[in-house]
A and B are shown apart, each in its own frame.
Chain A
């Protein structure tokens, strides 16, 4: 097991490096001058040039990359061009806010998805199964930014039950109060639809497959209680489900930009949006890099968890 973990960790090093290279390349293929964000409309050319030097934009690209990599390794993601604040600080806050949504959506989406999928798989072909299939298809087919809009229209504009946007009144930070929870309801529900569909689909398929196994069929035929069968099913289903859940959590974190835009939630997606439209290169790099690395890490954890649950995986 230890050797396996080590192997996996070694395996992600080149990937992580590739991620930094890609992130670096990404922002340099971009048209537009990164200094746009900082320079006042009438600024004289010599001031623009001095800023360019100050930010290192005049160095050759490979040098810029090595400097960048060195900084990243020491935990320095640079300063926002637009505000001069360290990217790390802004990113930390935003990540926290995105986590609130993602964790909420994960709890709602995963629980309902697992329940629905398990019921459907257990009673294959029944009403639950058809319902689960429907939910699954809707979950993976619905443009969630549109669903968010519809929910806002119904719950906020028409019924005035829940706040339409924002994280809290007056731009306050997060806290576990009724007001805050009310703000989180709509974005969390909207966000949870996709993982719910996908988790339900995977759980259903895996449960059904395990139940098809001869061994289980025999157990059931013998009239053995549900207990042993269930235990067997859980043990066999767990590794697959853990991997699906892990990936889905990663997608929630990395894919929050649309939801955060619809609900004006001050998370990483919001930050990304701003960085893109202000062409704030360090902020853009930092945000994408952080989310990318987080995803890589999550994949590693999923692999390890899977291996822990299923010894066969370690050999592959």
Chain B
């Protein structure tokens, strides 16, 4: 971020503080209702500040009870959400040495247990993830979120409200990465006897909600944190109840019978029934893509750009949308077309069977020379939408242009293993596709980890061993662009190159359908994986 931008953030922060004192009593008086949410997770995601269960964990057990130094702006439903100051008021990379970042912390913030949030607490929270010698280092949390701070080399408490990070190399994406490192209370950790599993039962963060009761696998109850530092976000609800409901039908049934007020991901087939029972359905695109990640090893059929383009043109995304009850956006690339990072690719991804067949013919394939290859898929998993029917649909689409897919179906945890192992791994022999949904919320996770040539296994998840010096140059350029505008510009070029080279077979973006009872008011479905539930009331 540039100095100019930083100043603006400071001003915004100050304004928020001023506003908070004005609004606090009003927010209190309006407190009303209990919101019961049916989640798709099979268990309450970890409540210790490093949630499991992917971004659903962050959504319900993370940003509800905790804040990062950087937060997401989740107030608007009509534009892609961006990062904003959280527990840090401002941040800035040193223009002379861009590996050094100064984060100015928000004054006067208290953890739920009453202890003060300061720079020492920040350092303590990074120690728990990055410093193996720290007494409170937790390997579980490190494995769940530590990798997001992988570029951090060291950190230093400058004063109570200032902390300095040093990155291993210039990394302009750092603020995004730090939005996933949530701040837990060191005092509470001491109070529960220095035991992370006890801390998870009685957690303490700085977030708008605090945990009041936790029954593993059955429910978690959260009460508003009336002393939340952002008065505009003090929850109006009396209580928020999270209920794990991994079975899609259970969620529908529970909503219909009034056992819950809001459900995540109702099955598309039941949407009509839900609507006719008066339920409200919301949906909104968010940074998610459902692709085929392609292998680029020598034996892969995907090394010819014409074949990759042909596959992208062969998918009837409208037809697929119907299967999903209309709850999907046809993919035009890795990110949605109105994203700041979309750029100006020349290859227009659409359904054009003729063009696809022509490209296949040019690449030397035809009725008597078909491509036979294997795809690794899973029957379920967070963000995977309806993987089996969707994959079968794609199988049929691709068969029409002479690509015969065979599936290797495995549970999502096994699939993640295969994904981490990289296409070269012995267990992945013969497979040239892995179907795994990606969150494109921050630049590193959206692009860099897939396209940087040295991030293949075991260093990262460039699954297909894709390598292109021109792409590496773009990545490096983006990582060195500390002006947000310039950074977005370069990411746009990077994305345009991805699309023009058809690096993936992109299929759809999810729109995260949610169904809720008409009693739920004030729900805003931000264009993000995360939600701000502070404005919600239940009548």
User: A residues touching B (Cβ–Cβ < 8 Å)?
Assistant: 31-33, 36-45, 47-48, 50-51, 54, 79, 82-86, 89-90, 93-94, 152, 156, 163-166, 168-173, 261, 264, 266, 270-271, 274, 277-279
Which of the candidate stretches B12-20, B24-32, B143-151, B307-315 sits at the interface with the other chain?
Answer: B143-151
Which residues from chain B contact A166 at a C-beta distance below 8 Å? 245, 250, 253-254, 259
Which residues from chain A contact B461 at a C-beta distance below 8 Å? 41-42
Instruction: Choose from A164, A165, A171, A278 the contact partner of B218 (Cβ within 8 Å).
Output: A171
Instruction: Choose from B36, B52, B200, B253 the contact partner of A164 (Cβ within 8 Å).
Output: B253
Instruction: Choose from B150, B256, B257, B260 the contact partner of A44 (Cβ within 8 Å).
Output: B150
CA distance A38 to B197 in the complex (A): 14
Question: Contact at A84–B413, with CB atoms within 8 Å?
Answer: no
Question: Contact at B414–A266, with CB atoms within 8 Å?
Answer: no
Does residue B83 face the partner (Cβ distance < 8 Å to A)? no
Question: Contact at A47–B254, with CB atoms within 8 Å?
Answer: no
Interface size on B, residues (CB 8 A): 49
Closest chain-A Cβ to B538's Cβ sits at a distance in Å of: 12
Chain B residue nearest to A38 in the complex (CB): B140
Chain A residue nearest to B273 in the complex (CB): A157
Instruction: Choose from B132, B200, B243 the contact partner of A50 (Cβ within 8 Å).
Output: B132
Are A173 and B147 also in contact (CB < 8 A) when A163-B259, A264-B245 are? Answer: no
Which residues from chain B contact A47 at a C-beta distance below 8 Å? 139, 142-143, 146
Which residues from chain B contact A86 at a C-beta distance below 8 Å? 197
Closest chain-A Cβ to B314's Cβ sits at a distance in Å of: 29
Question: Contact at A278–B42, with CB atoms within 8 Å?
Answer: yes
CA distance A121 to B361 in the complex (A): 77
Which residues from chain A contact B417 at a C-beta distance below 8 Å? 32-33, 36
CA distance A89 to B246 in the complex (A): 21
Are A164 and B257 also in contact (CB < 8 A) when A42-B461, A44-B147 are? Answer: yes
Does residue B215 face the partner (Cβ distance < 8 Å to A)? yes
Does residue B216 face the partner (Cβ distance < 8 Å to A)? yes
CA distance A171 to B221 in the complex (A): 10
CA distance A48 to B260 in the complex (A): 38
Instruction: Choose from A36, A40, A94 the contact partner of B144 (Cβ within 8 Å).
Output: A40
Question: Contact at A165–B196, with CB atoms within 8 Å?
Answer: no
Question: Contact at B43–A43, with CB atoms within 8 Å?
Answer: no
Which residues from chain B contact A172 at a C-beta distance below 8 Å? 218-219
Are A51 and B140 also in contact (CB < 8 A) when A36-B416, A43-B147, A82-B43 are? Answer: yes
Closest chain-B Cβ to A16's Cβ sits at a distance in Å of: 28
Closest chain-B Cβ to A257's Cβ sits at a distance in Å of: 14
Question: Contact at A85–B197, with CB atoms within 8 Å?
Answer: yes
Question: Contact at B147–A84, with CB atoms within 8 Å?
Answer: no
Question: Contact at B197–A84, with CB atoms within 8 Å?
Answer: yes
Which residues from chain B contact A43 at a C-beta distance below 8 Å? 142-144, 146-147
Does residue B247 face the partner (Cβ distance < 8 Å to A)? yes
Question: Contact at A42–B413, with CB atoms within 8 Å?
Answer: no
Chain A residue nearest to B50 in the complex (CB): A40
Does residue B241 face the partner (Cβ distance < 8 Å to A)? yes
Per-residue A-contact encoding for B191-234, CB less than 8 Å = 1, 0 else: 00000110010000000000000011111000000000000000
Closest chain-A Cβ to B353's Cβ sits at a distance in Å of: 35
Closest chain-B Cβ to A162's Cβ sits at a distance in Å of: 9
Question: Contact at A165–B250, with CB atoms within 8 Å?
Answer: yes
Question: Contact at A171–B142, with CB atoms within 8 Å?
Answer: no
Are A50 and B139 also in contact (CB < 8 A) when A43-B147, A171-B219 are? Answer: yes
Chain A residue nearest to B257 in the complex (CB): A163
Closest chain-B Cβ to A192's Cβ sits at a distance in Å of: 22
Interface residues of B in 234-290 (CB under 8 A from A): 241, 243-247, 249-250, 253-254, 256-260
CA distance A93 to B417 in the complex (A): 31
Does residue B458 face the partner (Cβ distance < 8 Å to A)? yes
Question: Contact at A274–B43, with CB atoms within 8 Å?
Answer: yes
Question: Contact at B259–A266, with CB atoms within 8 Å?
Answer: no
Question: Contact at A36–B200, with CB atoms within 8 Å?
Answer: no
Closest chain-A Cβ to B25's Cβ sits at a distance in Å of: 30
CA distance A277 to B380 in the complex (A): 10
Question: Contact at A170–B458, with CB atoms within 8 Å?
Answer: no
Does residue B420 face the partner (Cβ distance < 8 Å to A)? yes
Question: Contact at B139–A54, with CB atoms within 8 Å?
Answer: yes
* Contacts A32-B413, A40-B143, A43-B146 supplied; 8 other A-B pairs, CB < 8 Å: A32-B411, A43-B143, A163-B253, A164-B253, A164-B257, A168-B259, A171-B243, A266-B217
Which residues from chain B contact A84 at a C-beta distance below 8 Å? 46, 140, 196-197, 200
Instruction: Choose from B52, B139, B247 the contact partner of A51 (Cβ within 8 Å).
Output: B139
Chain A residue nearest to B419 in the complex (CB): A41
Closest chain-A Cβ to B506's Cβ sits at a distance in Å of: 20
Does residue B449 face the partner (Cβ distance < 8 Å to A)? yes
Are A41 and B416 also in contact (CB < 8 A) when A47-B139, A48-B143, A163-B259 are? Answer: yes
- Minimum-distance CB pairs A-B, first 9: A171-B219, A164-B253, A171-B243, A43-B143, A169-B259, A36-B413, A264-B250, A40-B144, A42-B147
CA distance A33 to B36 in the complex (A): 35
Chain B residue nearest to A183 in the complex (CB): B259
Are A90 and B36 also in contact (CB < 8 A) when A32-B417, A264-B247 are? Answer: no
Instruction: Choose from A31, A79, A165, A261 the contact partner of B197 (Cβ within 8 Å).
Output: A79
Which residues from chain B contact A266 at a C-beta distance below 8 Å? 217-218
Question: Contact at A51–B217, with CB atoms within 8 Å?
Answer: no
Which residues from chain B contact A85 at a C-beta distance below 8 Å? 197, 200, 216
Which residues from chain B contact A270 at a C-beta distance below 8 Å? 217
Closest chain-B Cβ to A185's Cβ sits at a distance in Å of: 13
CA distance A302 to B250 in the complex (A): 37
Closest chain-A Cβ to B377's Cβ sits at a distance in Å of: 16
Considering residues B42, B249, B257, B416, which has the most beta carbons from chain A within 10 angstroms of its beta carbon? B257
Instruction: Choose from B46, B256, B259 the contact partner of A170 (Cβ within 8 Å).
Output: B259
Considering residues B142, B143, B253, which has the most beta carbons from chain A within 10 angstroms of its beta carbon? B143
Per-residue A-contact encoding for B150-187, CB less than 8 Å = 1, 0 else: 10000000000000000000000000000000000000
Are A38 and B143 also in contact (CB < 8 A) when A44-B150, A166-B250, A264-B247 are? Answer: yes
Does residue B321 face the partner (Cβ distance < 8 Å to A)? no
Chain A residue nearest to B218 in the complex (CB): A171
Chain A residue nearest to B261 in the complex (CB): A170
Sample (20) of A-B pairs whose CB atoms are under 8 Å apart: A31-B414, A38-B144, A40-B146, A42-B449, A50-B139, A79-B197, A83-B52, A84-B140, A85-B200, A165-B249, A166-B253, A166-B254, A169-B36, A169-B254, A169-B259, A172-B218, A173-B215, A264-B245, A274-B43, A274-B246
